[in-house]
Chains A and B, each alone.
Chain A
Amino acid sequence: MANFSVKVNGKTVDLEVDGSTPMLWVLRDHLKLVGTKYGCGIAQCGACTVHLGDNAVRSCQLPISSVGEKEITTIEGLSENGDHPVQKAWLEIDVPQCGYCQAGQIMTASALLKSNPSPSDDEIEGAMNGNICRCGTYTRIKKAIKTAAAENTNA
């Protein structure tokens, strides 16, 4: 066990955990930020995606000891009122079915649009291929990303 100080959603949090503990479990078990989901534990499904700085990362493979000064953003911190363009597009296109994977999908999509505001279909697929949706909402996910990208461009 060791003491760590991490920045999550704009707040600095101090906690005592084993340094090997992945951020996924720090967020869920210790900080009760449960929007970040457990799906596979081996970075294959993307349900646990958060932002580390501006990058989408799989928090199940991100030990707390490796986070350092970098800011972590979770689905709870993506926007103040759930009105990030990607969240709005997700609602407009009515993407979710069971909804379990969608936080991870949204975090990957929002990081993509930050680095590439109007991605091509191939670029969208390339970025989103690491996120499994077992309900099969992929066509809507693509459509929602394009909708959010269009709003970005228009804004």
Chain B
Amino acid sequence: MTLVKTKIGRRSFIRTSALAGGGMMVGFSWLASCKMTPEEVNALPKEWFEINGFLKIGDNGKVTIMSPNPEIGQNVKTAMPMIVADELDVDWKDVIVEQAPLNLDIFQRQLAGGSQSIRAGWEGLRMAGATARKMLKQAAAKAWEVPIEEITTSNGVLYHKASNKSAGYGEMASAAVTVQSPDAAPESIEAPEEVELKEIKDFTIIGTDRLNVDGPDIVTGKPLFGLDVYEEGMLTAMIVHPPAFGKKYKSMNVDNVKSMPGIKDVFPITVYPEGVEKQWSDGGGIPELVAIVGESTWQCMQAKKALKVEWEGPSELESTASYGNDLDKLLEAPVTAARKDGDFNRAFKGAAKTIERTYSAPFLAHNTMEPMNFYAHVTDEKAILKGPIQTPEFLEKTVSAVLDMPLDKIDIGMTRMGGGFGRRLYGHFGVEAAVISKKAKAPIKLVYSREDDMTQGTYRPAYKVKFKAGLDEDNKLIAYYVKGVGTNDDLIFENRFPAGAVDNYLAEKTSLETKITTGAWRAPRSNFIAGAEQSFMDEVAELAGKDPIEFRLDLFDRAMKNPVGDPEKNDYDAERYAGVLKLVKEKSNWTNSGDKARGVSAYYCHNSYVAQVLHLTMDGNTPKVDKVWCAVDCGIVINPISAKNQIEGGIIDGIGHAMYSQMTFKDGVPEQQNFDNYRLIRNNEAPKEIESYFVDNGIDPTGLGEPSLPPIVGALANALYKATGQRHYSQPFNTEKQILG
């Protein structure tokens, strides 16, 4: 039995109240984790105690779980209520999941999710369900005059077996809120201080397949997304941004455009005026833009085409070739070590066999299928904004500074997001919408064209990494060196594998400042370093004459039994890492796969472990991925059908970008502007089959939105090598040495 406290000090994670019209309401902290000492609590952000999720049980027994988080595609809107419902012990078919209505006082802050949602929310969500269940049991115990210990629950029904009494949750819901403190005013009803959580074996909803709660709305085309916002009297706005990174607005001729049908106004805007400091969440927001406001999107698009804008800026602008050279130079420049175990240089010099390889990857656009957009209605009194954003609390701060308006006059509503991949952490488009609305004195919806979206910036950085490895006479890995460089980003997680498994280890990192703006892209840094590292590891294993899985398992064995350096520093668990490799080895029947073109890879990021085997065949110069086996350790799996969907998506995304995608630049101008020359993976290029397996270990759940993407690039490169004899060092692979179509 696990008991958890609903209060820490005087602060409570739970608030309860009666429901108008009968029933009970339990408010809880959506992303709270409660396993903490009082000292740790003091360090917690205040919003962890803010009540922002609600559970309502009506007199009819229907349970409504209101989630403050908008959905971005990871299906947390289904998974998180499943956790609440399981602890509540209710039938899933009686559960209604609602996105919290916007602008309610009771929802103090809408928090954004990400890969950490389930991990952060796990305890708090369980506690909420368990609290409501305990309150219902208290009510039944009182009504039936029996001890609470004798009350049991199942599927939304309370039982007292000895007296053969039973009651649905709905029948006890109204009484449940008054039983603990019968004379309390509705707003000061106390929740039980301690509640009991279920044992894992007693879960009835967690670990079972539950369909996406928004599925019916999605397949019937209901308005869910930011671009679907159409408010009364709303105009459309579009922007024109500088055509090249490094250029700025100079002037424009609006005469021919202002008279175009439907066009209301055309004006330059300063998004970030002097004195307003950009936050990280403004990403690559461009300070000065041109705005077009009109009646309809098509009319704005026509005006955008006709508008002639003059830009100014330096004649020397960045190109793919120039920053490529600069990254190469950085790779050779001396830097301070990020981690050093033993003496790499000496061991490498004395090694029996050595190998050195360099890998690179280009800038990538996020290319969410729903381009950036935001609705804004700014008046002298207030600013109402609405759209697809992962960081509303940050957007609110920037908008407050830019409009010089107090925070409490600004309202940010969140819609479902047509993809994120990191892009919607950076809400400069919301700021732009607010500035345009204020100047146009009208409610507007800012719409980025695909070209605006793709050429705006905020890209996945371009990276290069150099590895060196040395083996002794027994083909044991004795020296390992990694140096990573990236544009506006360094690349290396120095305490990840194989740190701790090699006697002489040296990790270095540094970054190159560029004008081409960058931001987090699905599984930041891991999205490149994993594939590079796992391709290199394959070559090292080959040099050692060992099976690539056995070679890795030996290293994990070393990290487990006799770790190099301080094992506390290593930010991975070698046993769990080895566990997924063993599982994928077994499931893919690796040992008996013979000459088949198969590649293996394993990686740890976002607190989850993933190992993959990819099998492909060549159709002429075109690789066809026949099958991917994927083993995952993300602790307890909440919703397997949806967890598998995330894994499949990450695999397809990873293969696609490694094979086909890149942003290149000539004199600061992005050379890809739309999907005709930015290649994304298509239906026929996806694996024919993906099998996913989970390690069943009862560990608290961790993220799934990102971890399957990084390693697949290594599995792909290693399988390509088996099929073609060609190693791949430079993404996208299809442009490398012209061997792949």
Nearest to B682 among chain A residues (CB) is: A129
Say whether, besides A28-B297, A35-B220, A37-B227, A97 and B652 are in contact (CB < 8 Å). no
Cβ of B419 within 8 Å of any chain A Cβ, yes or no, is yes
Taking CB atoms and an 8 Å cut-off, the chain B residues in 662-716 that contact chain A are 674-676, 680-684, 686-690
A97 touches B649 (CB 8 A): yes
Number of interface residues of A (CB under 8 A): 62
B419 touches A98 (CB 8 A): yes
Nearest Cβ on chain A to B113's Cβ, whole angstroms: 13
Nearest Cβ on chain A to B17's Cβ, whole angstroms: 34
Taking CB atoms and an 8 Å cut-off, the chain B residues in 206-244 that contact chain A are 209, 211-212, 214-216, 218-225, 227-228, 230, 236
Say whether, besides A37-B227, A139-B648, A42 and B298 are in contact (CB < 8 Å). no
Say whether, besides A96-B212, A96-B219, A139-B648, A132 and B370 are in contact (CB < 8 Å). no
Nearest to B223 among chain A residues (CB) is: A34
Nearest Cβ on chain B to A100's Cβ, whole angstroms: 3
A98 touches B683 (CB 8 A): no
A35 touches B682 (CB 8 A): no
Which of A36, A42, A95, A125 is close to B683, meaning CB atoms less than 8 Å apart? Answer: A125
Cβ of B138 within 8 Å of any chain A Cβ, yes or no, is no
Which of B209, B299, B369, B653 is close to A101, meaning CB atoms less than 8 Å apart? Answer: B369
A96 touches B687 (CB 8 A): no
* Chain A neighbourhood of B209, CB < 8 A: 94
Cβ of B730 within 8 Å of any chain A Cβ, yes or no, is no
Nearest to B417 among chain A residues (CB) is: A98
A97 touches B74 (CB 8 A): yes
* Chain A neighbourhood of B684, CB < 8 A: 125-126, 128-129
B645 touches A140 (CB 8 A): yes
B297 touches A29 (CB 8 A): yes
Cβ of A4 within 8 Å of any chain B Cβ, yes or no, is no
* Chain B neighbourhood of A32, CB < 8 A: 230
Q: How far, in angstroms, from A121 to B219 measured CA to CA in the complex?
A: 23
Cβ of A6 within 8 Å of any chain B Cβ, yes or no, is no
Cβ of A18 within 8 Å of any chain B Cβ, yes or no, is yes
Q: How far, in angstroms, from A35 to B216 measured CA to CA in the complex?
A: 13
Cβ of A134 within 8 Å of any chain B Cβ, yes or no, is yes
Nearest Cβ on chain A to B460's Cβ, whole angstroms: 14
* Chain A neighbourhood of B674, CB < 8 A: 40-42, 44
Cβ of B416 within 8 Å of any chain A Cβ, yes or no, is yes
Nearest Cβ on chain B to A9's Cβ, whole angstroms: 11
* Chain A neighbourhood of B221, CB < 8 A: 33-36, 74-76, 103
Nearest Cβ on chain B to A105's Cβ, whole angstroms: 9
A135 touches B686 (CB 8 A): no
* Chain B neighbourhood of A53, CB < 8 A: none
> B418-450 vs A: 1/0 string, CB under 8 Å?
111100000000000000000000000001011
> B394-417 vs A: 1/0 string, CB under 8 Å?
000000000000000000000011
Range of interface residues on B (Cβ < 8 Å): 35 or more
B223 touches A138 (CB 8 A): no
Nearest Cβ on chain A to B605's Cβ, whole angstroms: 18
Nearest Cβ on chain B to A79's Cβ, whole angstroms: 8
A100 touches B225 (CB 8 A): yes
* Chain A neighbourhood of B73, CB < 8 A: 96-99, 135
* Chain A neighbourhood of B223, CB < 8 A: 34-35
Nearest to A36 among chain B residues (CB) is: B221
Say whether, besides A100-B419, A101-B369, A94 and B645 are in contact (CB < 8 Å). yes
The secondary structure that dominates the A interface is loop
A98 touches B418 (CB 8 A): yes
Which of A22, A39, A138, A140 is close to B298, meaning CB atoms less than 8 Å apart? Answer: A22
A82 touches B216 (CB 8 A): yes
B369 touches A139 (CB 8 A): no
B687 touches A139 (CB 8 A): yes
Q: How far, in angstroms, from A42 to B261 measured CA to CA in the complex?
A: 22
B298 touches A21 (CB 8 A): yes
> A1-42 vs B: 1/0 string, CB under 8 Å?
100000000000000011011100100111011111111111
Nearest to A84 among chain B residues (CB) is: B219
* Chain A neighbourhood of B299, CB < 8 A: 18
A138 touches B261 (CB 8 A): no
Cβ of A45 within 8 Å of any chain B Cβ, yes or no, is yes
A99 touches B418 (CB 8 A): yes
Nearest Cβ on chain B to A73's Cβ, whole angstroms: 11
B298 touches A137 (CB 8 A): no
A44 touches B675 (CB 8 A): yes
Nearest to A88 among chain B residues (CB) is: B219
Nearest Cβ on chain B to A107's Cβ, whole angstroms: 9
Cβ of A47 within 8 Å of any chain B Cβ, yes or no, is yes
Nearest Cβ on chain B to A55's Cβ, whole angstroms: 19
A106 touches B219 (CB 8 A): yes
A-B contact pairs, 24 of them (CB 8 A): A28-B297, A35-B221, A35-B222, A41-B450, A44-B675, A44-B676, A45-B450, A45-B675, A47-B369, A87-B220, A91-B211, A91-B215, A91-B219, A92-B211, A94-B209, A94-B211, A95-B645, A96-B73, A97-B646, A98-B72, A132-B369, A136-B650, A137-B648, A142-B683
A-B pairs, 5 with minimum CB distance: A35-B221, A136-B652, A100-B418, A98-B73, A75-B221
Residues of B within 8 A of A (CB): 71-75, 209, 211-212, 214-216, 218-225, 227-228, 230, 236, 261, 296-299, 301-302, 367-371, 416-421, 447, 449-450, 641-642, 645-646, 648-653, 656, 674-676, 680-684, 686-690
Kindly list 13 other residue pairs between chains A and B, CB separation below 8 angstroms, not including A29-B230, A132-B682: A17-B298, A18-B298, A25-B297, A35-B220, A37-B418, A47-B369, A90-B215, A96-B73, A98-B71, A98-B419, A133-B683, A134-B680, A137-B648
